[in-house]
Amino acid sequence: MNVRVFGFDTLRNFRFNPQKPVTNLQISSGIDWFDAQVEVVYGDQKVSIKEIKKALANKQNYVQLADGTLGLLPEEWLKKYSLLFKIGEEKDKGLKLSKYNFSVIDELYEFIDDEAILVELDEKRKKLLQFDEIRSTPIPANVFANLRPYQESGFQWLNYLDEVRWGGILADDMGLGKTVQALTFIQHYKNKNGRCLALVVCPTTLIYNWENEIKKFTPEMTHHIHHGPARLRSDDELRKFDIIITTYGTLRSDITLLMKLEFDYVVLDESQAIKNPQSKVTKAAQLLQTRNRFALSGTPMQNNTFDIYAQMNFLNPGMLGSVDFFRNEFATPIDKFQDEERKDHLRKLIYPFILRRTKEQVAKDLPDKIETVIFCEMDPEQRHIYDAYRNTYRSKILGVIEDQGMERSQLTILQGLMKLRQICDSPAILNEQEQYPNHSVKLHELTREITENIGNHKVLIFSQFLGMLGLIREKLEHQHIKYEYFDGSTSSQDREKAIQNFQNNDECRVFLISLKAGGVGLNLTAADYVYIVDPWWNPAVEQQAIDRTHRIGQTKNIFAYRMICKDTVEEKILELQERKKSLVKEIIADDSGFIKKLTKEDVLYLFS
């Protein structure tokens, strides 16, 4: 305000220096770091870097000078330089910054007189921000996929990170094809280098999705699933493959074996699994020997800012400082006090390493409806119950077919299939005298999807079995997730109430519906994700369910997921559907209609 203030010199305890700080800065570039020679002076008083770091750590806006006066650190000075001092490591007369933190140096652009550094920064900024305009790398000819424009951009981005040896998170919304982008890059890497050893770590339920996508999109790559009691125990055996797929649990228990391998790439799928820096699985991931790393996650930050720390530290070790530094500097101020300046600082540090596209941003590149199968693997308890029932019904059905022929065995076949399908959901929903415990991989996976992946999207969940819907309800209530529900017994008045609440209330993200009740006259366009928990072989009924969301008034693209238990009757039904496509196309009005068309061989196959 140009008001001169006198009397500083007569203050006893707080003698403020009347001078403004003058900052002299010289930046040079090393291989993996930038060197910043810094000098801050108040008149003839020089300040040490240590003093400034100390003042910033104590959240003070003044610094102690040698003559006993206090030098003020004005607001605009703090805005410009505080991140440089906080992130930089004190070295000789200057600060040393990792190349990962190039965005901090980029902020000080006007102080750089070294042409080579300016070119380097320009190059980095351009490639990271406009990577989709610099489509310099052709898609490998041996990738059998038609990549959408944003997926091609994702491949270019991963390729750029590879050139500069940085790790990053591909954080596209769920359903946008992160796996195919990752596989395109790994295939390109192998083509370029003649070899590749990549480790993919994912939740158990995604193992077979990776396997299927490798077979479909990059069939020339050899892969191996490192999971389960019969897994390989020799590092030499594992070296023979291009891609090793394992789970977070197996990574934790087999870290001594996996540490012996030198990977070209480690890929963490659903990388929020390592968000706790203290967990054993995070520590195991840090021990892997690899040339570079990247992660895939639709929700890298789920609940709080701290979630991002361990993921970033795995990808680019040391980039965000120590756990305590990050907590004090970013996590606490942002989460507790909504500190906008810290939020901005953190964004500057991490934005080059996260590529995120939402469904809405790429809507024009997407088909209206994308359907995917989620393969789930039962735990030993659930599998044990399944196998026991399957064996019992197999002998029973064989006997009935022998005695009465196919025509009269339909009821027993249907009954057997029904029981096996219920066990795939959970043995707890079997209507038997003996009450079974609730072992359910689908329930576990569904809850994980809702809590970790869905974010702000709304989801419909269909099941044919009221018992399964009941188990899902309990789980949602336990997790304090708001939902709506109806089945065949819900009155039309209550239905309407439920629909209105789901459509208009942002808090209510989940709608549970029984497959039969959800088949007619419903309009639920607020949802854009659909889960069919127990698919059946009349696709017409499933399509009706998916089309609850996919109708007039729907402005979003729909993602539909069928949940299938691996190596069970559900997977076999899918294969039979493929084989008997023509039958499925004839409208099968009910379950018995399909059974009539099955041969004895088909029935044995289903119960094998």
Q: How many angstroms separate the CA atoms of 36 and 94, rounded?
A: 5
What was the pLDDT predicted at 587?
Answer: 42
d(CA 227, CA 253): 11
Q: How far is CA 558 from the centre of its chain?
A: 19
What pLDDT is stored for residue 388 in this prediction?
A: 94
Provide the pLDDT for residue 133. Answer: 57
User: Residue 427: which of 418, 417, 440, 416 has the closest Cα?
Assistant: 440
Rounded CA separation 297/173 (Å): 8
Q: What are 244's strand-pairing partners?
A: 199, 224
Nearest to 205 by CA among 285, 269, 252, 288: 269
What DSSP string runs through 503-514?
A: HH-TT--EEEEE
Q: What is the mean pLDDT of each run of 10 residues along the chain (608 residues)?
A: 80 79 84 83 90 87 87 88 86 81 74 76 69 73 94 92 90 90 97 96 89 95 94 94 96 96 96 91 95 91 84 90 87 88 86 86 82 90 95 90 84 90 95 88 92 84 93 94 89 86 91 75 78 79 70 74 92 80 51 69 86
- Residues 585, 582: Cα–Cα separation, whole Å: 5
Q: Is 497 helix (H, G, I), strand (E, B) or coil?
A: helix
Compute how many other C-beta atoms are within 10 angstroms of the C-beta atom of residue 417: 24
How far apart are alpha carbons 258 and 105 in whole angstroms?
37
Number of C-beta neighbours around residue 511 at 10 A: 27
Determine the 3-state secondary structure of 305 from DSSP.
coil
What Rg, from alpha-carbon coordinates, does the chain have?
Answer: 30
How confident is the model at residue 430, as a pLDDT? 92
Task: Please give the pLDDT value at position 115.
Answer: 79
* Residue with the two structure tokens 């993921």: 311
Alpha-carbon dihedral 277, 279, 285, 287, rounded to 10 degrees:
90
Distance CA 225, CA 211 (A): 8
Q: Phi then psi for 467, rounded to 5 degrees?
A: -60, -40
Please say whether the beta carbons of 406 and 475 come within 8 A: no
**Complete domains list, the chain, with CATH:** 8-109 (no CATH), 130-362 (3.40.50.10810), 370-606 (3.40.50.300)
